[in-house]
Amino acid sequence: MQYPLYQVDAFTDRAMGGNPAAVMPLASWLPDRQLQAIAAENNLSETAFLVPEDGAYGLRWFTPAVEVDLCGHATLASAHVLFEHLGYAAEIILFNTRSGTLKVMRDGDGYRMDFPAPALTVTAVSPELEAALGASVLDAALPVENPSMMVCRFDSEAAVAALAPDFRALAAATPYGVIATAEGSDRDMVSRFFGPQVGIDEDPVTGSAHCCLTSYWAPRLGRNRLSARQISARVGELMCELQGDRVLLSGNAVTYLTGTVHRIA
């Protein structure tokens, strides 16, 4: 068997920007060990696998180390592959995932994704976490249900940009991925994401983190539509809109390569 493989740069309008994701459409699910092995071989922050399911698509996401419950940039990349390469003609794509049914639709030259908006609760920051980050955190919050990442607010965009975490110490200090954030100088919010616990020291652009960020910043800034920039080395741009218990995330995507997987162990 041979399998098509696409690599898409998400949350950007230029190749080699944003966050790269691999997308592999399948006719039916391969064994989990093979899905994980493919993701490890691709060695990108996420590999997405798609399987047709009664008018929708099953969608699963794997880092090189683990399967995850939600991934924004690989969902955006998957929708881009369906619309641009596989002839998907309907207005909305439905993805069946571990985080429920997700919707993606065209939005001008880009795409808009409909994701869950987590309720957040204030949480304490340990001295070990601050030491691993190398900076003081103003305040922090965690999703109330199924927390996997922590929002940590800093006093400025410059402070977020200057962070140089000790990733091994960070993995030991907290079981959660860390979303470092602040108000932006020319965006409503800026962020970086550190996830050594799942094999990703720093993720270039993190859609799922912006679900938390939208829940965090919308009430603080007093508006539901927010501009966002993830200030990693590759840089990513998003628009985020809070609508009740949902977040609409908008961004662009660019195909970097197409190829074929010839052998799977």
Q: Which residue has the tokens 């020291």?
A: 201
Residues 165, 254, 190, 48: is their CA dihedral positive or negative? negative
3-state helix, strand, coil in the chain (%, to 5): 25, 45, 35
Look up residue 22 and give its two tokens. Answer: 């691999």
Facing residues of 227 across strands?
239
Closest Cα to residue 110, out of 211, 237, 2? 237
DSSP 180-198: EEEE-SSSSEEEEEEEGGG
**C-alpha–C-alpha distance, residues 7 and 101, integer Å:** 23
Strands 56-62 and 46-53: antiparallel
Closest Cα to residue 49, out of 37, 40, 63, 62? 62
Q: Is 145 exposed, middle or buried (0-12, 13-18, 19+ CB in 10 A)?
A: exposed
Q: Which residues are identified as catalytic?
A: 46
